[in-house]
């Protein structure tokens, strides 16, 4: 099937989210623990304050192009389910099924595991208790936020809004305090041991930009709750664009504060640059300040994952490409089976410690999904020339820029991690075989 017709589309999702909630989903789904760790990696690669800030400005431009591209997609088809909807509509049930199954089985649950374990690690560090308590804390976080989201969309979104507000206020406070202090001795001085001196500026810049791509992962999360936003044709684009603008502002402000407070040679040797900055600004209490801020940040992103990721399974099942049980929605507007599945797989992965390996081998598949989604806009423009409520300005250049970046990222994974890319491709092939078998199964709703 290639059009927009859905088979047996059940009702149940509630249209109760506003633009503020949409922006909160984008911001909190994107700004997690990565921004606290990536500055050290980037400083090692570039070793120059102006290059580092320029890299983040470039990231803001590129992902604004991405937000504009996704805004037209969301305006054309304002449905919950995220990238699945556009891959399926553009390339057919087979491609949609592969993406939907991969996301439901692993991709959507792995962040739940990752974030819960990071939360456990930070709590153990803050409380000074045994590292053996990391997993119990991780399990507790998953259970608490699963219950909050099962209580209904209002509870899940309300929790999201509060955590996002606290996160942004905390980061803003860190930036303000940083710039109220004089610059650190040697701040801004180039780091002579940077990789760019040996590998070349272009190579180092390209490698550093991969960290920026990872840091923006999640900006399209409002698409996963598209039909649950009031007037989605108008407010979904606002959520996406507003979210990326807030994310970019936060990243630029934080990196500026880090460069002001921490010399580049110290940044390059640190796994937690934010901690180095906080130690200078708050003294002995600095570690507690930054760990507390990181905990709030991680919890917000964990809640986002449990709020929006189950919608992909819901949409895939609604299209007849997964068991119908995933379409069950409770009175509060939560896909219950899909949410419980995401939480259960996340728990298993968190306890097994295999989530990082799974994400590594599936990076290529994830990159292909981004490429396919960005390319779908060109398919829709040629197939359906009608004008949606939002159209990308500067078409085809703006979506073309984002498509080229996604293609470049996919190729970098293929070239730099060929073994992982091969395994990821094999997993995609297995999912495609699964779709064929599912389609032929007696009584399957996917039968033609």
pLDDT bucket at 32, cuts 50 / 70 / 90: confident
| CB-count exposure of residue 115 (10 Å: 0-12, 13-18, 19+) | buried
pTM, two decimal places: 0.92
Distance linking the first and last C-alpha atoms of the chain:
8
Checking if the pLDDT of 8 tops 80, the result is: no
Decide which of 357 and 219 is more confident.
Answer: 219
* Residue 191, φ and ψ in degrees, nearest 5: -95, 110
CB atoms within 10 A of CB 185: 7
CB under 8 Å to 395, separation ≥6 — which residues?
A: 381
Average pLDDT over residues 3-25: 75
The reported pLDDT for the residue numbered 231 is 94
CB under 8 Å to 324, separation ≥6 — which residues?
A: 317, 445
**Contact call for residues 49 and 237 (beta carbons, < 8 A):** no
The reported pLDDT for the residue numbered 33 is 76
């Amino acid at each position: 099937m290639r059009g927009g017709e859905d088979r047996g589309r059940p009702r149940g999702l509630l249209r109760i989210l506003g633009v503020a909630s949409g922006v909160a989903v984008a911001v909190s789904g994107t700004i997690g623990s990565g921004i606290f760790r990536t500055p050290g990696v980037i400083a090692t690669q570039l070793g120059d304050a102006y290059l580092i800030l320029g890299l983040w400005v470039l990231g803001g431009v590129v992902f604004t192009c991405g937000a504009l591209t996704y805004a037209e997609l969301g305006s054309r088809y304002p449905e919950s389910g995220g990238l699945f909807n556009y891959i399926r509509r553009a390339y057919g049930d087979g491609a949609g099924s592969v993406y939907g199954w991969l996301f439901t089985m692993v991709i959507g649950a792995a962040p739940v595991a990752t974030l819960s374990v990071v939360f456990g690690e930070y709590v153990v560090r803050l409380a000074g208790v045994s590292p053996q308590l990391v997993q119990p804390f991780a399990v507790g976080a998953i259970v608490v936020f699963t219950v909050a989201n099962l209580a209904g969309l209002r509870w899940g979104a309300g929790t999201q809004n509060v955590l996002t507000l606290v996160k942004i206020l905390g980061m803003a406070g860190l930036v303000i305090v940083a710039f109220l202090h004089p610059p650190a001795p040697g701040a801004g001085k180039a780091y002579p041991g940077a990789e760019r001196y040996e590998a070349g500026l272009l190579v180092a810049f390209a490698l550093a930009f991969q960290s920026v791509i990872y840091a923006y992962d999640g900006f399209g999360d409002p698409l996963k709750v598209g039909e649950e936003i009031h007037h989605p044709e108008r407010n979904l684009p606002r959520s996406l664009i507003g979210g990326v603008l807030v994310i970019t502002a936060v990243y630029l402000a934080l990196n500026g504060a880090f460069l002001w407070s921490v010399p580049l040679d110290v940044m390059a040797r640190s796994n937690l640059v934010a901690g180095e900055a906080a130690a200078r600004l708050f003294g002995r209490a600095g570690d507690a300040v930054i760990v507390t801020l990181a905990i709030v940040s991680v919890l917000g992103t964990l809640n986002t994952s449990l709020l929006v990721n189950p919608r992909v399974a819901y949409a895939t099942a609604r299209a007849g490409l997964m068991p119908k049980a995933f379409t069950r929605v409770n009175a509060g507007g939560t896909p219950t089976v899909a949410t419980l599945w995401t939480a259960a797989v996340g728990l298993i992965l968190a306890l097994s410690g295999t989530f990082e390996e799974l994400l590594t081998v599936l990076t290529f598949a994830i990159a292909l999904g981004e490429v396919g989604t960005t390319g779908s806009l060109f398919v829709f423009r040629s197939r359906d020339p009608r004008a949606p409520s939002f159209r990308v300005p500067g078409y085809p250049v703006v979506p073309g820029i984002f498509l080229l970046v996604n293609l470049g990222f996919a190729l970098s994974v293929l070239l730099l991690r060929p073994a992982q890319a091969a395994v990821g491709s094999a997993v995609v092939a297995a999912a495609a075989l699964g779709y064929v078998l599912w389609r032929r199964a007696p009584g399957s709703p996917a039968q033609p």
